[in-house]
């Protein structure tokens, strides 16, 4: 087996495509022959030594992949060797083979290329678990999505629109905002030029007041106070990233006036099973989101696909901030 190995922590150059120990599936698991792996910001943090895998997870970078089933472990039902799948991982995606619990695997529709499918599991799990399972997104609400041009952002726009919500987005260029509008966003905010608080508070919320009913935030500390200001009554702030820092002061009086809530979540650290675990999220995706993927209502937005040997360049590209949607690493043609 081959995989991306780290020679140490640091820049993209520490990643090398080399021989690695081959995994074997245990009870309830399957072995996937990997066609492609999605690239996420968490991968960049792990490469730098800032985001270690949870206990028991593979040390190999990669939180999602696509491919075909190569082997089934004991106790796995409803799947066959050769099935086209994509998977939510705790690690191990940057490899030509990976083992994953069968409860974290989704079928790839015949109409969807395996390369594109590799960019779905992590964003789908992040968006659905936050917007729907945590915040209870429903029709007519106003959702503010920070980083609308990111992988999570481009997926969240589509999910929110498919469920009947109105979407506001922030992005750093007119070009990205135009593309967000093409996906369904209607309130377009250039964060380099405009005040997102004023822009969102000018919009009517689903509750009849003004402001965002739900905010999906990838910035963390830098946006905390302004996000609270932008909430509508009974609004929910969902913090899923810390690109703007990890520590900030929360004005509880401002939050109390909104009857608001702040949630901070991630997917990787969740347990495999149990309440709120990865199996529960994937089951929800399979039941409610995957029909929309299968019919083409929601599509993966892929900016670039590079060969796995060019993982360093893929990391540089994602880190540049110029990407719209996802970057995918192609491991092999299947």
Beta bridge partners of 69: 32
Strands 2-6 and 15-19: antiparallel
Distance CA 170, CA 176 (A): 9
Sequence spans of domains, the chain: 2-120+300-330, 123-264
Kindly provide the b/e burial profile for residues 305-315, where b requires at least 16 CB atoms within 10 angstroms of the residue's own CB.
Answer: bbebebbbebb
Give, rounded to a whole angstrom, the gap between the first and last alpha carbons of the chain.
Answer: 16
Q: Which residues of 274-284 are buried (b: 16+ CB within 10 A; e: fewer)?
A: eeeebbbbbeb
| Cα–Cα distance for residue pair 35/112, rounded to 1 Å | 13
pLDDT of residue 334: 86
3-state secondary structure of 307: strand
Within 13 A of 99's CA, how many CA atoms are on the CB side?
A: 19
- In CATH terms, 2-120+300-330 corresponds, of 3.40.50.300, 3.90.180.10, 1.10.3720.10, 3.60.110.10, to 3.90.180.10
Neighbour-count burial of 208, counting CB atoms closer than 10 A to its CB (0-12 exposed, 13-18 middle, 19+ buried)? exposed
Q: For position 324, what pLDDT does the model report?
A: 98
Helices (H), the chain: 41-47, 114-117, 121-127, 151-162, 174-183, 196-201, 224-230, 252-258, 278-284, 290-294, 311-319
Rg (CA), the chain: 19
Q: What is the pLDDT of residue 67?
A: 98
Using CB atoms within 10 A of its CB, is residue 136 exposed (0-12), middle (13-18) or buried (19+)? exposed
Cβ atoms of residues 17 and 312 within 8 Å: no
At residue 218, φ and ψ (nearest 5 deg) are -105, 5
**pLDDT by position in tens, the chain (length 334):** 999 999 999 999 999 999 999 999 999 999 999 999 999 999 999 999 999 999 999 999 999 999 999 999 999 999 999 999 999 999 999 999 999 999 999 999 999 999 999 999 999 999 999 999 999 999 999 999 999 999 999 999 999 999 999 999 999 999 999 999 999 999 999 999 999 999 999 999 998 999 999 999 999 999 999 999 999 999 999 999 999 889 999 999 999 999 999 999 999 999 999 999 999 999 999 999 999 999 999 999 999 999 999 999 999 999 999 999 999 999 999 8
Residue with tokens 């029709």: 139
Query: What phi and psi, each to the nearest 5 degrees, are found at residue 329?
Result: -105, 125
pLDDT score at 118: 98
> What is the reported pTM?
0.97
Taking the CB of residue 55, how many other CB atoms lie within 10 A of it? 6
Q: What is the pLDDT of residue 207?
A: 86
Residue with tokens 């967000």: 180
Q: DSSP states of 16-72 as a string?
A: EEEE-PPP---TTEEEEEEEEEEE-HHHHHHHTTSSPPPTTS-SS--SEEEEEEEEE
What is the CATH topology of the domain spanning 123-264?
Rossmann fold (3.40.50)
DSSP secondary structure letters along 279-302: HHHHHHIIIIIHHHHHTTSS---E
| Tokens 């109390």, residue located | 256
**Can you tell me whether residue 216 is helix, strand or coil?**
strand
Which residue in 106, 83, 60 sits closest to 308, CA to CA?
60
DSSP 129: I
């Amino acid at each position: 087996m081959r995989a991306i190995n780290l020679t140490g922590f640091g820049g993209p150059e520490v990643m090398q495509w080399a021989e690695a120990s081959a995994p074997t599936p245990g009870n309830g698991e399957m072995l996937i022959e990997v066609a492609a792996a999605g690239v996420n910001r968490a991968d960049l943090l792990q490469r730098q030594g800032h985001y270690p895998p949870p206990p028991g997870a593979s040390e190999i970078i990669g939180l999602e992949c696509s491919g075909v089933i190569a082997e089934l472990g004991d106790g796995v039902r409803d799947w066959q060797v050769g099935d086209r799948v994509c998977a939510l991982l705790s690690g191990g995606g940057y490899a030509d083979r990976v083992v994953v619990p069968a409860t974290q695997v989704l079928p790839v529709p015949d109409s969807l290329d395996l390369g594109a499918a590799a960019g779905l599991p992590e964003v789908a799990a992040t968006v659905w678990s936050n917007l729907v399972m945590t915040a209870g997104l429903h029709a007519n609400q106003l959702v503010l999505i920070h980083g609308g041009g990111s992988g999570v952002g481009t997926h969240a726009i589509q999910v929110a629109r498919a469920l009947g919500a109105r979407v506001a987005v922030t992005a750093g260029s007119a070009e990205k905002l135009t593309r967000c509008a093409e996906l369904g966003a209607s309130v377009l905010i250039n964060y380099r030029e405009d005040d997102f608080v004023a822009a969102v508070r000018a919009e009517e919320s689903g509750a009849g007041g003004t402001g965002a009913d739900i905010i999906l935030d990838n910035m963390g500390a830098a946006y905390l106070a302004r996000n609270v200001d932008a909430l509508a009554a009974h609004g929910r702030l969902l913090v899923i990233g810390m690109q703007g820092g990890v520590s900030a002061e929360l004005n509880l009086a401002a939050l109390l006036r909104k009857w608001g809530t702040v949630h901070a979540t991630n997917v990787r650290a969740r347990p495999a099973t149990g309440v709120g675990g990865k199996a529960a999220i994937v089951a929800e995706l399979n039941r409610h989101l995957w029909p929309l993927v299968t019919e083409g209502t929601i599509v993966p937005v892929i900016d670039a696909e590079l060969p796995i040997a060019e993982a360093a360049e893929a990391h540089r590209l994602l880190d540049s901030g110029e990407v719209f949607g996802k970057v995918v690493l192609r491991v092999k043609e299947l």
